[in-house]
Amino acid sequence: MIAILKYNAGNIRSVENAIKNLGFECIITDNPAELERASRVIFPGVGEASSAMQYLKERGLDILLKSLTQPLLGICLGQQLMCKHSEEGDTECLGIFDTQVKKFPPTEIVPHMGWNNLHSLKGYLFQNINPAHDDVYFVHSYYSEICINSIATCDYILPFSAALQKDNFYATQFHPEKSGDVGEQILRNFLALSLTD
């Protein structure tokens, strides 16, 4: 069973629909036992960092998420909350990835919204993805800095981490559930992961 983390963030239903369209069963839950039993955990979200972290901490989910050993995928806000610190609300995050979340410099083109390409792809998550042709969909005003855990980058105003990975933890700043056939392939790759990939 695939568990989609329920917390104080939006866009969870679109992830649920994407997983079901791939032919997989899933549940939306903040129950620790269900999260621990799941074969895969997805940590999606659109929202504000400090209120989302407060929800996780109030339920002990901040500690639980870091202890999980099955593949876990953070999406958008989920990726940002897996980093060390976010400038959004001056928020201490989970610290899974050793990088900071910064706000894009103020311009008329923030937020970063729409299709963009990826660079420097690494690992199984991007198997069968061609960065020359396969764009993905972004909506965000904050970005994760490039670091040792970066497995894809994007350039919008400045270069940033479009995807991160450390051990069994994966994350994308873009929305695979909104990225058409490309996003579907990335979700398939995640769901097919073994712990050796």
Q: Indicate which residue of 76, 83, 93, 154 is catalytic.
A: 76
Let me know if 92 is a catalytic residue: no
CA trace torsion 14, 141, 29, 27 (10° rounding): 20
Q: Indicate which residue of 16, 26, 154, 175 is catalytic.
A: 175
What is the rounded distance in angstroms from the CA atom of residue 98 to the CA atom of residue 23? 34
Kindly state the helix (H) or strand (E) to which residue 171 belongs, with its residue range.
Answer: strand 169-172
Nearest 5°: the CA angle 120, 20, 24 is 85
Give residue 64's Cα distance to chain centre. 17
Q: Indicate which residue of 16, 26, 140, 177 is catalytic.
A: 177
Let me know if 119 is a catalytic residue: no
Side chain identity, residue 168? N
Could you say which DSSP state residue 132 is in? Answer: T
Both tokens of 101, joined, read: 């979340």
Let me know if 154 is a catalytic residue: no
Residues annotated as catalytic are 76, 175, 177
